[in-house]
């Protein structure tokens, strides 16, 4: 069995495997923390939305509904900023020389803008795409939440669920196709 002396460098294959393992481990850790922030934040917003909508307000005025949506949207943006800050803290700790470049790179990656003027060192470069995919998924979850809240507000106002309205439109469209006027 051949023992390595401390002065012998790893070959490229071993070094590449270690680099990938380190990136994958850190990526999984950052994604899990991001998911925790997102899920806890959305769970709290759902609790607040139910309380706000069910608080005995049979019908919200248009102004109150707009204010409620602005509040929820603002909180969702703050939640995404916390997630960006989490990733940028990692980048600042291990990858980039300043907070400005770390926040900029993280925001560009999370939002999938990806200008490319700031890049991660080669040993961490897989984290940028991982953050981008994570950002897209977290934004999708947030948009879904905001859509449900808006749908509930419309349902409260009209007394008809948006799905029922869509089903009615679909039935009418099919009837017009079968029996054109």
pLDDT digits (tens, 9 = 90+) for 51-77: 877 774 556 678 888 888 999 999 999
Residue 152 in any domain: the answer is yes
Check residue 113 and give its pLDDT: 93
Q: Give the residue numbers spanning the domain of 102.
A: 30-178
Q: How far apart are CA 132 and CA 127, in angstroms?
A: 9
| Residues 30-54 pLDDT 10s | 999 999 999 999 999 999 888 877 7
Contact of 130 with 27, CB cutoff 8 Å: yes
Check residue 65 and give its pLDDT: 83
Residue 159 in any domain: the answer is yes
The total number of structural domains that make up the chain: 1
Q: Residues with Cβ < 8 Å from 89, sequence gap 6 or more?
A: 102
* Stretch 153-166: mean pLDDT: 71
Residue 139 in any domain: the answer is yes
Residue 162 in any domain: the answer is yes
Residue 99 in any domain: the answer is yes
Residue 53 in any domain: the answer is yes
Task: Please give the model's pTM, rounded to 2 decimal places.
Answer: 0.77
């Amino acid at each position: 069995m051949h023992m390595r002396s401390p002065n012998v460098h790893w070959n490229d294959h071993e070094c590449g495997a270690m680099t990938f393992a380190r990136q994958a481990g850190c990526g999984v850790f950052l994604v899990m923390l991001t998911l925790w922030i997102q899920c806890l934040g959305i769970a709290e917003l759902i609790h607040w939305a139910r309380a706000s909508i069910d608080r005995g307000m049979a019908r919200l005025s248009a102004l109150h509904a707009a204010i409620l949506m602005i509040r929820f949207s603002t909180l969702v943006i703050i939640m995404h900023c916390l997630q960006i800050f989490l990733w940028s803290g990692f980048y600042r700790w291990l990858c980039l020389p300043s907070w400005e470049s770390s926040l900029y790179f993280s925001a560009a990656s999370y939002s999938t803008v990806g200008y490319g003027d700031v890049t991660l060192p080669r040993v961490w470069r897989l984290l940028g795409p991982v953050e981008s995919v994570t950002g897209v998924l977290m934004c999708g979850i947030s948009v879904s939440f905001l859509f449900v809240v808006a749908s509930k507000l419309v349902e409260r106002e009209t007394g008809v669920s948006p799905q029922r309205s869509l089903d009615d439109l679909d039935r009418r469209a099919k009837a017009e196709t079968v029996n054109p006027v």
